[in-house]
Structure 1
Amino acid sequence: MSRSSYKVGDMIVLKSGLTRTAKADKRCRIASILPNDHGHVQYRVQFTGENFERRITEDDIDIGESPRRASLEAAAKADDAEPWLKFSGIRMGK
């Protein structure tokens, strides 16, 4: 399974043909990262002029034109992140 290369808030550029018109702005912001679907990383993105989000896969992103990618070190740090539930912090009443 592949890891996400981008993080929430990154501005990306979509490949041609994914927007309605050729003159439409292809830049959008990643709103959230979705679970993998058969090994493909999915994102919810939003264009600045729209009030809804679209679902795309990492294959839809134009890697050459996207200005910012998460570094490999940041991806490694995400794997070493602490779990959101800490069992040592749970107190049981008697």
Structure 2
Amino acid sequence: MSRSSYRVGDMIVLKSGLTRTAKADKRCRIASILPNDHGHVQYRVQFTGENFERRITEDDIDIGESPRRASLEAAAKADDAEPWLKFSGIRMGK
């Protein structure tokens, strides 16, 4: 079984021919990751101008246009970005 290369919230680009018109925007956001179907990773994606989600497989993603997860994590580490939620700063009252 293959593992998913993308996470919820990632922006990806679909291959040509998967949208109805040639001029349609092929960029979409991953809404959720579905269970594998015979070894193929599936995603639910949503385009910005639509109010519904579509189901795609990882084969439908244009790898050349979409950033890989490893490059996104490397970019975050290069910026020395800190997480917005720091667990050490949370105080629990009794």
Which TM-score bucket, shorter chain as reference?
0.7 to 0.9
Q: Which runs of 5+ in 2 are unaligned?
A: none
Range with bigger deviation, 10-19 or 72-81: 72-81
Does the 8 Å contact 2:5/2:68 carry over to 1?
Answer: no
Which is worse superposed, 78-87 or 22-31? 78-87
Structure showing greater relative contact order (alpha-carbon pairs closer than 8 Å, 6 or more residues apart): 1
Q: CA deviation at 1:69?
A: 2.4
Which region of structure 1 is more displaced relative to structure 2, 84-93 or 4-13? Answer: 84-93
Q: How does 1:15-34 map to 2 (within 5 A)?
A: 15-34=15-34
Q: What is the alpha-carbon distance in structure 2 between the residues aligned to residue 4 and residue 78 of structure 1?
A: 23
| Structure 1 unaligned blocks of 5 or more | none
Mean Cα deviation higher: 31-40 or 75-84? 75-84
The change in CA–CA distance for 1:64 and 1:34 in structure 2 (over 3 A counts) is same
| Whole-angstrom distance in 2 between the partners of 1:88 and 1:82 | 13
Q: Is the 8 A contact 1:35 1:42 kept in 2?
A: yes
Query: What is the root-mean-square deviation of aligned Cα atoms in Å?
Result: 5.5
Change (3 A) 1:62 1:85: closer
The count of residues paired between Structure 1 and Structure 2 equals 94
Question: Percent of counterpart pairs with the same letter?
Answer: 99
